[in-house]
Each structure stands twice: as C-alpha cells, then as structure tokens.
Chain A
Amino acid sequence: MRPIVFLLAILLPAALVGLWLPFWSLSIVALLAGFALRPGPARAFLWGGLAGGLLWGLLAWRIDAANAQVLSTRIGHLFGVGATAMVALTALAGFMLASTAALLGDTLRTPPRKRRRR
C-alpha cells in the first residue's frame, strides 16, 4: 500500500470527525487506519504521524495566516515561543497523537511475533 494512501486515510476522516469530536478523535482515526491498512510499524509511525502533523499544522497555519498571527503571537508569549512556533507546536502535537495511535493499530493487527514469522 502506498504511504500516501495511508496518510490520506487518516488525514481526511480525521479532518471530518474533528468537526464534531474532541481532539482524541485524531488518535482513534489513526488507530483504525493502522489496524485496517496494516502499513507496517515504521510506515505506521512515520506516515501516520505525518498525517496528524500535516492536518493540525495546515489547519493552524491557515487560521494563523487569516488572523495575521494576532492570536498566535499572544499565545506564543504565554508559552515563551514565537507565533510561528505555535503552528509548529500544534503540528508536533498532531504528529504525536497520530503516530503512536497508528503504530498501535498496526501492532494490534500484526503483533511483532507474527510479523517475524511471516
């Protein structure tokens, strides 16, 4: 399976369910994608994380640009970082939530022992 398919399989549904469900819905979607598509552990972690990071990073970047960094500058002060770093921090949080969950999904479907035998 192409990594891009796996990435989109997380990014698009997560963007949709995130309109109604809280932030942890990103982890649920990544977990389900990892479980259903079995991308392998390295791909699950990397591409799953990229999906989450891209989703949150792009959404934050778009909001930030439309807002001329008014809010990210203020919140950045609160965190002791610059406005752009708030976008990066958001992307990083998205990456972590999705990567670990996608890896878990893949592992649940194909436990490491089985994988070695295969």
Chain B
Amino acid sequence: MAVLLFALVVALNVLLSLRLQVGGNALPPLGRFLSPQEGFWCAAEPTDAQPPAELTLRGLEEPVQMVWDESGVPHLFAANDRDLYRAQGHVVATLRLWQMDFIARAAAGRISEVVGGQAVEFDRMQRRKGMVTGAEASLRALMADPVMAPLLEAYADGVNQHIRGLRYRDLPLEYKLLHHRPEEWSPLRSALIQQYMVENLSGWDRDVEDTYALQALGPELLDLLFPERPPGVAPVVPTTTPWPFVPETIAPPPAYDPLAVLAADSLRSDPTNGSNNWAVHGSRTTSGRPLLANDTHLGLNFPSIWIPIQLANPDHRVFGFTLPGACGVIIGHNEHAAWGVTNAPRDTRDHYRITWRDARRLEYRHDGRWLPVEHRVERIAVRDGEEVIDSVRITLHGPVLFDEGQGEVPQREGLALRWMGHEPSMTQKALYLINRVRSYDDHVEALRWFHTPAQNWVFAATDGTISMRVTGRFPNKWRGQGRFILDGADLAHRWQGFLPYEHTLAERDPERGHVSSANQHSSDEGYPYWTYNGHVEYYRNRRIHQLLDGMPAARPEDMMTLQHDGFDLRSEEALQALLPLVDTTLLQDRERALLGGLRRWDRVCRAKGTEAALMHLWADEVMIALWDTLQQFPLPLGNPTGYNTVRILADTSLRATVEQALGIRITDMALNSFRGAVQRWTNAGSPTWRQHNNARVTHLARIPALGREQLPVDGAGTAVNAQRGGHGPSQRFVVELSSPPRAWFQLAGGVSGNPGSVRYDDLLDEWSTLRYREVRFLRDAEEGDALAFPRTVLRP
C-alpha cells in the first residue's frame, strides 16, 4: 500500500512537472503553472498596483528618476547618456522582456529552440537570408563608434540586470506558457531587432515574378499589367524645380537581356506594411504653428510593437515611441522639433543567377573567372528534436537562398540574394542624433547615418520648417537594374556604388503648404536616378493630399480625424470603372438592389455597414476573374495592382488589349464577378464590415487567448485608416509645434507586455475611436510629483 501511494505521489508530482502534449499542443507543466506562488498567477498584477519607490541599478553614475504617468508611460530623467540608456534598457526589459527576447530569436532564426520542429523552415530561411550576418555587420560599425558603443553596452547591461534578478515566479507569462528561459541581452541582440525591422520593411521584391512575367507575357503586356510607374501617381517628393546636383553616372551593361539569365523567397514579409505621415505648414494651421502626424501600419500584435517613453538628460528631452532593443526613440518630438516615418518602398534587394562551374557547385563564374563559393554551416537547435544542419553557399553577391530541390518552385532555386540588409547600418546612431535635433540642419545631418530600412522622414520644427526626406542608403542603379533577375557572372550587373547622401530626395517648405507620404512612389521621372519597387501604395497618399489641400486652417483634431478617415478611394475608383460595365437588366431583383446600395454608398468603410464587405468581395472576385490566368504559369506571376486593374477597366482601349490577350469579355466578367460576390457575401451570412474585415490584434506567439478579435474599427487597407484584418495603424501620433510642442497619441494595445496587467490592452479601445491621450511632456520629475504621478528612483 505504502509503495503504491508513494508511487502515486511521485507520479502526480512528476506529471505536474512535465510539459504534456495534448491534442498536438504542448501544455506547460501544470503543477508549476497553476501554483499561485510561482505559476501564472504571479503575472496577475493588482489593478491598483503601484511601481516600487526605489530600485537598484548598478553601474549608474547618478540616480535616475522614473515617473509613471496615468497611461503607464515611463518618463526617465538621468544625469548623462549612459545612465539614461542603462535605465531605458532596464525599464523596457521590465515591460517587454519576453517580446524583445522572442523577436531577437526570430531575427536570428532560433525559434525552433522554443517551439520545436514546426519553425525549422522559418529558421532556415532567416539564416539563409543572412539576418545574423547583417546584424553583425551593423554591430561592428556601431561598436567602432566611440559614442554609440558604451551606450549600447549600457542598454544591454540595464536589460541584463533585470534578467539576472528574475526567479521562475517573476518570469513573464509567456516563458511559463512556452516553458523556456530568457537569454542574456547583448548589443548584438539590439542589432538583431533592428535587422528584424529591416526585413519587415524591405524583405520583399518581385524580381523573379517580373522576370517570368516578361518571358510569359512579353514586354508590352508586362508594361501594361505591371508598369513601373503608371500614370496618375503622386510621388512623395515631386520634381518641382531642377535638382540642385549633378547625378553620379554608372555604366550599364552594353546589352542586357533579362531572359538570358533565366534557368527565393518563401517567407515574405508583408509587402503591405506601410504607414502615413504628413506635416502642415504654419501658414495653413489655425495656430500658425506647424502640425505633424504619423501612424505606422504593421502587423498588429500583443505586446504592442511600440513603447511610448520620455527620455531626458541635461542635453535633451524627448518623448516618443521606441522599439524594444533600441536606444532612444524612433518617432517623437523634443523641445525643438518633431519627426515621424513611413516605409519608403525602394528596390534594395536583387537576385543574381549563379553560373556554376560543375554540378558540385563549388565554383561560380564572375567577370570571366571562376571564384570559389564559401560555405556557412548553420546549426538549428530544435526543441524536443534533433539538431538540423544547413549549409549555405555564399557568393560575392550574397547567399544562395534556395539550393536545387529546396525552393517552392524550381524558378527560385540557385539565385543569390544581394540585399541592403547585409550592409552595415548606423541607424542606431541616427536615432541618437535625431533625438537631440534643434534645427532642420541637425535633422539632415542626423539622417546621414540612417541607412536601413529606407524611410520617408517627415519633420517639423518650432521655427516653422516642415520637410520630407526619403532617407536610406540606396544602391545607384542603371535603369532597370534589379527589376529582373541579374546575371551573377557579369561585372556590370554588380551594385556599382551608392547614391550620395546629398542627392537624397527631399523637399522643404513646399508652396502647397504640406508634405506627406504613404508608401507611394518616392519620385517621379524628373529625379535623375532610377527608382523602382513592385509594391507601392496608390490610394492613401492621394486621399491625404486631397484632404490636406482642402484644409486652409488645420487644427490638431483635424489631423486626428484624417488619421481615422475610412474613405476607401480604391472602392470609389473601382465603382466608377465597374458600375458602367454591369448590365443591370441581367441581374435579379436582390442583386439589383445591392448594386444600387453600392452606387449610393459614400465609400466610407464603417464597421457597422455592409457595403464595404460586399464591395471588397466584388473587388476580390474581379481580381480572380481577370488575373487567374496569370497564376496558372509554373511560377505564379502575382496580380497586377488594384490601381492598375482599375486603370485598365476604366480605359476602353486598354480593356480591349486585355480582352484580346487573356481571351475574356470584360462586361461578362464585371457581371459575373458581382454575382459571385453577392453569392459569397450571402453564403457568409451577409456580414457587416466589422465581421468581414475582422480587425484584430494577435499575440506575437499566436496564442489566441492573449489576442483580441472583431474590433469595431472603420477603415480598410486602402483607406487612410489602413485597418485590414490583423494589420493596421500600430500607433498614431499628432504634434503641434508650439514651444514646447504639444502632442497626442494612440497605441494599438498598451504599454505593458504582461497579459496579467490592465496596461496590456487598456489603450486599444480608445485606439479604435477618436479619443487621443495628450502626451505628458514633463520638464522634470517634480512636475510629475505635482501631478501625483508615482515615481521610482533607480539608484546605483
């Protein structure tokens, strides 16, 4: 009996200590997990929790004052830079340790260590793409900088002091759920998070698709369906006067036939990652002060990607949004100026066909010689599984993404990737400098260091200046270089240099009284360098332009209303093109009534309305009906853009060309696609836009219980309020450049990364409305005391 009982007790304790597999999901060790003294309950913060009055942070030269405002935003007041960033690392770790650890692992291709074999292919591609190589290159450059090196070290030390003080019971919830431990922080891991953003914002292209589209469709049809720059676009920086520089010339190859090189990229970032920003000159605002606005569209995740924070020391005082792992703020304002970013789609990734000497693939041809290939061995540790070993071939162009037999399709195999993400980037130094700008000239000098990912920087200063600058390090390309697969054997196909910083696309105080960007084409044909990207935005930027043009006396609340604008210009233009094509006499009564509803609809995608759902289904059906043939090739060619599709539908002669080339009747297509959309919408239970769009915020580890769905949000992917499913404005920021500036913000989530805190998602409900929180831009910690904000003193 005693033996049996002993066995039972031991078995029970062991069972509750194990990570059990139930229905394909790994449960955390239940005894530990359920224990109120060390398990998940320890993450449950009292709703009235107060921060500690004092904490020890070794290595500080002076105490750092940390004030917590009513939104849970930390405001740090330090005596010098090193103390400031040590404290920033520490507070960011207390708020977001699991998130920063997980993203750094994801960037380095080390997720299999946490979740097991299901992530091996993800990890393999991260490593093949050279994510760590790029991060290491940036780190070497940063650590050679005498200003940045000690600051990055101090930040990492701040994070590590938090990690070292953690017992199991103190770990963030996700470590307990996924049953792993935090890893020591280092400046390399900060560089990896920057690399993750570079990949997120520039990790896609259409080079392979365009090459095969050229082969399958010919140059004329390619130009019609996938034009470089269709008519009617409004670039970020238009050419208004001759550019004040002589462009640097480079030698194109004497003859270039992209098809001659024909013989990857399975894990793409989302090419619709984008954002809006703009600034309005004081001559067009009620207060006479410039206004600046920025909202960044990313995958909406818990914990929120951004952390609002104020940082201050005797040489500057800045408020803004930082990313875990970054010193300083990225988007924000100080006492003199405000700035914000949107992604600048430019071609910074090219694919090279490699000519191997023989089947062993040890040497490849370049410039008339055979060069030896390097091998990089990657060892991927897999939780509960065997280590996976991968060998990556490295050429002088870059790594070969897919060896033979590894690609989803053979067309992607044997191509080497050249990517700006492999180049050293001093972006962290640019952030350090921009946090301290006092003038437009400071801003221009700071951005000299901003290398990747390319961004449209909007800027406004209290002296009245507004500007837009398409910032990043760009390869100087001959016309067409890198739109198609390049020949790795040809010297002239290599990147031959970079655009001089002085030749950056930029404008300051333009006559129209505003600047704006929303991921559209950077330039027009007047810019003397060739720029290209296959994934640009066509609608938000024109809508913003249109509304700012009609705003002679803008107020901050007008900026907020514009950020929430749900008008869908794509639907407007698509309906203008499609409605005349539908023969309504052939419709049934219900279909006719629904079409009438779309005709009368004001094109605003409202959560409660149904028109947007039906219209988006119709647009989907049109794309399928028109372009399905393009997906039947061995390598799917992708769809022409919605903008170009509407351009074709609206033009009689272009329609005729497409009808002839693809063998379809456009009027039949318009009718049938509408009927198909009505059918789909009816079958789905006639959903509202809220149900159809399913605006949601998903937990980074895809744990459904820690996310939120069906949020009541207006807007659509092609509206200024770019809410599309799990993707949308991750934050919103509006600044009035008074002295000192006043600012307002929204965040899609909360400041805390802890699902057991009310601050995990307390800002989300406001985010879906027009309610903004005013930024507390504190002069000093005593101002926080006067407002009865709790204060934590970090002491050495």
Check A100 against B9 for contact (C-beta < 8 Å). Answer: yes
**A24 to nearest B CB, angstroms?**
5
Q: Which of B251-274 contact A (CB under 8 A)?
A: none
Which of B107-115, B241-249, B701-709 lies at the interface?
A: B701-709
Contacts of A72 in B (CB 8 A): 44
Question: A12 interface residue, CB < 8 Å from B?
Answer: no
B539 CB–A CB distance under 8 Å: no
- Determine if B758 and A23 form an interchain contact, defined as CB atoms under 8 angstroms apart: no
Q: Mark A19-56, 1 if CB is under 8 A from B, else 0.
A: 10011101100010000000000000000000000001
B interface majority secondary structure = helix
Residues of B within 8 A of A75 (CB): 40, 705
Inter-chain CA distance A70–B756, complex, in Å, is 6
Are the C-beta atoms of B5 and A56 separated by less than 8 Å? no
Complex: how many Å from CA A24 to CA B17?
A: 9
Chain A residue with the shortest CB-CB distance to B762: A70
Point out the residues of chain A lying under 8 angstroms from B40, CB to CB: 71, 75
Contacts of B755 in A (CB 8 A): 70-71, 74
Interface string of A60-83 (1 = CB under 8 A from B): 100110111011101111100000
Q: Is there contact, CB below 8 Å, between B8 and A100?
A: yes
Known A31-B9, A75-B705: A70·B36 in contact at CB below 8 Å? no
In contact, B16 and A23 (Cβ under 8 angstroms): yes
Asked whether A67 lies within 8 Å of B756 as measured between CB atoms, the reply is yes
Within 8 A of B (CB), among A60-118: 60, 63-64, 66-68, 70-72, 74-78, 89-90, 93, 96-97, 100-101, 103-104, 107-108, 111-112
Q: Is B45 an interface residue (CB 8 A)?
A: yes
- Within 8 Å CB of A3, what residues of B? none
Query: A-facing mask of B1-13, CB < 8 A → 1, else 0?
Result: 1100110110011
Residues of A within 8 A of B48 (CB): 66
Q: Counting CB contacts under 8 A, is A18 at the interface? A: yes
8 Å CB contacts to A: which residues of B9-54? 9, 12-13, 16-17, 30-32, 34-41, 43-48
Please measure, in the bound complex, the distance between the C-alpha atom of A112 and the C-alpha atom of B4, giving whole angstroms.
12
Query: Given that A68-B758, A71-B755, A78-B705 are contacting pairs, would A89 and B13 also be in contact in the complex, using a CB cutoff of 8 Å?
Result: no
Q: Within the assembled complex, what's the spacing in Å between the Cα atoms of A93 and B30?
A: 8
- Using known A-B contacts A22-B32, A63-B36, A71-B44, determine if residue A100 contacts B705 with beta carbons closer than 8 Å: no
Contact partners of A31 in chain B: CB under 8 A: 9
Q: Are A23 and B31 in contact (CB under 8 A)?
A: yes
Which listed residue (B35, B47, B173, B177) contacts A23, Cβ 8 A? B35
Within 8 Å CB of A89, what residues of B?
34
B686 within 8 A of A: no
Does A4 reach chain B (CB closer than 8 Å)?
A: no
**Complex interface: chain B residues within 8 A of A5 (CB):** none
Do A111 and B1 touch (CB < 8 A)?
Answer: yes
Contact A59 B44 (CB under 8 A): no
Contact of A70 among B17, B31, B47 (CB under 8 A): B47
Q: Which of B32, B36, B45, B706 has the most CB of A within 10 A?
A: B36
Q: Closest chain A residue to B754 by CB distance?
A: A71
Q: Which of B5, B8, B703 has the most CB of A within 10 A?
A: B5
A83 to B39 alpha-carbon distance, docked (Å): 16
Indicate whether B239 reaches chain A with its CB closer than 8 angstroms. Answer: no
Question: Which of A59, A90, A111 gathers most chain B CB within 10 Å?
Answer: A90
Q: Which residues of A contact B38 (CB under 8 A)?
A: 18, 22-23
- Residue B757, interface by CB 8 Å: yes
Q: Are A66 and B13 in contact (CB under 8 A)?
A: no
Q: A70-B758, A71-B44, A104-B6 are in contact. Are A97 and B36 (CB under 8 A)?
A: no
Which residues from chain A contact B706 at a C-beta distance below 8 Å? 74
CB <8 Å contact, A107 and B1: yes
Provide the bound-state CA to CA distance between A88 and B25, in Å: 23
Report the Cα distance A31→B10, complex, angstroms.
11
Contact of B37 with A93 in the complex, beta carbons under 8 Å: no
Are A59 and B36 in contact, CB atoms less than 8 angstroms apart? Answer: yes
Q: Which of A27, A77, A101, A112 contacts B705 (CB 8 A)?
A: A77
Chain B residues with CB under 8 Å of A18's CB are 35, 37-38
Cβ contacts under 8 Å, B8 to chain A: 100, 104
**B34 and A108 form a contact (CB under 8 A):** no
Task: Report yes or no: B9 in contact with A71, Cβ–Cβ below 8 A.
Answer: no
Residues of B42-80 at the interface with A, using a CB-CB cut-off of 8 Å, are: 43-48
Contact A104 B2, CB 8 Å, known A75-B705, A78-B705: yes
Using a CB–CB distance below 8 Å, which chain B residues touch chain A? 1-2, 5-6, 8-9, 12-13, 16-17, 30-32, 34-41, 43-48, 168, 173, 177, 703-706, 755-758, 760
10 tightest A-B CB contacts, nearest first: A77-B705, A71-B756, A59-B36, A67-B44, A23-B35, A66-B46, A18-B37, A78-B705, A71-B44, A104-B5
Question: What are some 14 contacts across the A-B interface (CB < 8 A)?
Answer: A18-B38, A59-B41, A64-B41, A68-B758, A70-B757, A72-B44, A74-B755, A77-B705, A78-B705, A90-B34, A100-B8, A100-B9, A101-B9, A107-B2
